[in-house]
Amino acid sequence: MRPSPAPSDIVIEATAIQQEVITELRKSSYADLQRFFETALREVTGSSGRLYHVEILSFWDEKPRGNLRVRVSIFPAGPRSPKIPISSFIVAPDGHFVGE
């Protein structure tokens, strides 16, 4: 029987996957990121073999057609998995990243 990974190992792997998704999304245009107004779900298998559920959602940060916030949540599959902080970024209509 394979030993269960330590919670810290799960957090490290999940955070790395989350950052890979964020990096990929940041290459997208403002218009392309709007497709995530309806939540997109992905399943990703980490290098450990553990399954993760990734949720991507975009929404107007303050007003319609203004800055767009893109949020990425990741949830390790399985019981008693540790909570992973949500990661997000904000992109302006002209394509620059807000607050960076």
Which helix (H) or strand (E) segment holds residue 76: the answer is: strand 68-76
User: What is the structure's pLDDT at 4?
Assistant: 62
Measured CA to CA, the distance from residue 46 to residue 88 in angstroms comes to 21
Measured CA to CA, the distance from residue 94 to residue 12 in angstroms comes to 33
Do 88 and 77 form a contact (C-beta atoms < 8 A)?
no
Identity of residue 4? S
User: What is the structure's pLDDT at 80?
Assistant: 76
Judge whether residue 75 has pLDDT over 80. yes
8-62 pLDDT, tens digit each: 889 999 999 999 999 999 999 999 999 999 999 999 999 999 999 999 999 999 8
User: What is the structure's pLDDT at 1?
Assistant: 46
Q: Where do the structural domains in the chain lie, given as residue ranges?
A: 7-91
1-12 pLDDT, tens digit each: 455 667 788 999
Return the SS3 of 35: helix
Identity of residue 26? R
